[in-house]
Amino acid sequence: MFKDGVIEGIEIRPLSKYSDSRGWLMELFRMDELDPEYIPAMTYISLTKPGVARGPHEHMDQADYFCFAGPSDFKVYLWDNRAGSPTHGRRMTVFAGESAPMIIIVPKKVVHAYKNIGSTDGLVVNCPNRLFKGRGKKDPVDEVRYENDVASPYVID
């Protein structure tokens, strides 16, 4: 059903590590480098155990701004599920994390997942452009989940 290829609207940006005798620093977000549509509304961090995947799922209104800086490495899966998109029906994978620090911006309605392919716990920072459950956490969660759908076309290896 899906064919491999680049998906329109996915932004991939390398993260630069600035090191000195004290350690290192990475800039994860700069408002002057981001389309206003993707300005974060909140930030959270998650820890994923080795061999564990999060997703696949999609958001109807939210875009995700994932920061994969390490530790560990991830395989990121993306499927263009947007009707009318010139890349509808494409899938792509990206390797990100400690070995390749990067930001991946995922527009709304692009199905996505990531799997920790390293041997240590992995951290991912997300700066989505919408609040989880809306202001005051009073709205429904903007998420369509496919993890437990045995007929799902969104397959993680």
Domains of the chain: 3-18+33-132 (2.60.120.10)
Residue 1 in this model has a pLDDT that exceeds 90: no
Residue 90 in this model has a pLDDT that exceeds 90: yes
Residue pair 135/76 in contact (Cβ under 8 Å)? The answer is no
Please compute the mean of the pLDDT values over residues 7-19 and round it to a whole number: 96
Residue 77 has a CB neighbour count (10 Å cut-off) of 21
Enter the DSSP assignment of 132.
Answer: T
Q: Is 20 helix (H, G, I), strand (E, B) or coil?
A: strand
Please compute the mean of the pLDDT values over residues 84-98 and round it to a whole number: 97
Please compute the mean of the pLDDT values over residues 70-95 and round it to a whole number: 97
Mean pLDDT of the chain: 96
Short-list 83, 79, 61, 66, CA closest to 142 = 61
Beta bridge partners of 73: 97
CA 6, CA 91: separation in Å to the nearest integer? 7
Please compute the mean of the pLDDT values over residues 94-109 and round it to a whole number: 97
* pTM as predicted: 0.94
pLDDT of residue 142: 95
Please compute the mean of the pLDDT values over residues 122-139 and round it to a whole number: 96
Residue owning tokens 């994969």: 68
Task: Provide the phi-psi class of 148: left if phi over 0, else alpha when psi is between -120 and 50, else beta.
Answer: alpha
